[in-house]
Structure 1
């Protein structure tokens, strides 16, 4: 595995054989992944909760994005959510995203835009543990942990290409926020 591409390999803990095998699959790609490849990757995962334990880090302030793997073609993140935490309303502007619920229940709210730019919710649905959803780069949504206090949510996200641009939306204004190209904003939304 290319150690310069894998954030996990640069850290101080050893990766499990199962996680190493999964990351080797990602290392084999030399172009952006399509929907079928993202689906195949998620379907092939045989990880135990212990395999991802080093990346299972929460924040009491906002959901936490923990990078597992990064290459020019894709990025794998473990997102950890306490009860009541949610993402901002956003799209992935240029990146596909495969989201697998590993623990808990996520609520995905899907939005559309009016002709004058405001967003409105068109549906919400629950994603139970084991669920997989793949979002196109222009799909507008919000992920939330609406479960009772103490019920954590853990989700595994595979972005291709790595998520570096997105549009952030508000229910109150048609103004679209475009975070800068820096990597740090991804970990602050």
Structure 2
């Protein structure tokens, strides 16, 4: 799978969001059948946090392929992807994706928390092993959650091009703030 992604996204060099055919990557992700022997060594959990971001391949700067290890009954903040394509495949467990429309007006973090309008949910879907989903900022914002109270979940994510920061959004007000720099919990299966 990793080699096929490299083949599709091409050799070293700059890659912009406009030059990516997300359908090719989605097909590759769909073709791969989840096998814990392939991904288990990259799956590091930390149950003191909602999820960990475990880098498998940095795509020579063109993409990030990573495993997210989700603690039980946890969720991400509502967020964008800074213009990056996000393709997610469920490897183990189940995850719920909630898509939100962009707020009609983004409320800055410096404004009063009572200012703004609640975000509108456009779609909610529960995904199971080997199912793939795709989101881009032109589709909207999203939140991923592990609804299980008994077990963790594991997902494979490809972000192309990679991003270092994104925005998170308050559901009740649409208020946006910078996420800070997105970091990795592990790289190549080793804790950093």
| TM-score between the two structures when normalised by the length of structure 1 | 0.77
Native 8 Å contact 2:103 2:174 kept in 1: no
Alpha-carbon deviation of 1:60?
0.8
What residue ranges of structure 1 are gaps of 5+ in the alignment? Answer: 1-21
TM-score (norm 2): 0.76
SS at the partner of 2:176? coil
Alignment length (residue pairs): 163
Residues 174 and 43 of structure 1: is their aligned pair in 2 closer, same or farther, counting only changes over 3 Å?
closer
1:142 is the counterpart of 2:143 = yes
Q: CA deviation at 1:131?
A: 1.0
Query: Alignment partner for residue 86 of structure 2, among 75, 97, 116?
Result: 97
Offset of residue 154 of structure 1: 0.5
Distance in 1 between residues matched to 2:99 and 2:120, nearest whole Å: 8
1:50 has 2:37 as partner: yes
Give the C-alpha shift of residue 167 in structure 1.
1.7
How many angstroms apart in 1 are the aligned matches of 2:125 and 2:6? Answer: 33
Query: 1:64 — aligned with what?
Result: 52
Counterpart CA distance in 1 for 2:2 and 2:174 is 40
Q: Which has the higher contact order (CA 8 A, sep 6+)?
A: 2
Matches of residues 67-146 of structure 1 in structure 2 within 5 Å? Answer: 67-71=55-59, 72-117=61-106, 118=117, 119-138=119-138, 139-146=140-147
How many angstroms apart in 1 are the aligned matches of 2:170 and 2:182?
Answer: 22
Indicate conservation of the 8 Å contact 1:94/1:165, yes or no.
no
User: Which segment is superposed worse, 116-125 or 135-144?
Assistant: 116-125
Segments ≥4 residues shifted beyond 4 Å: none
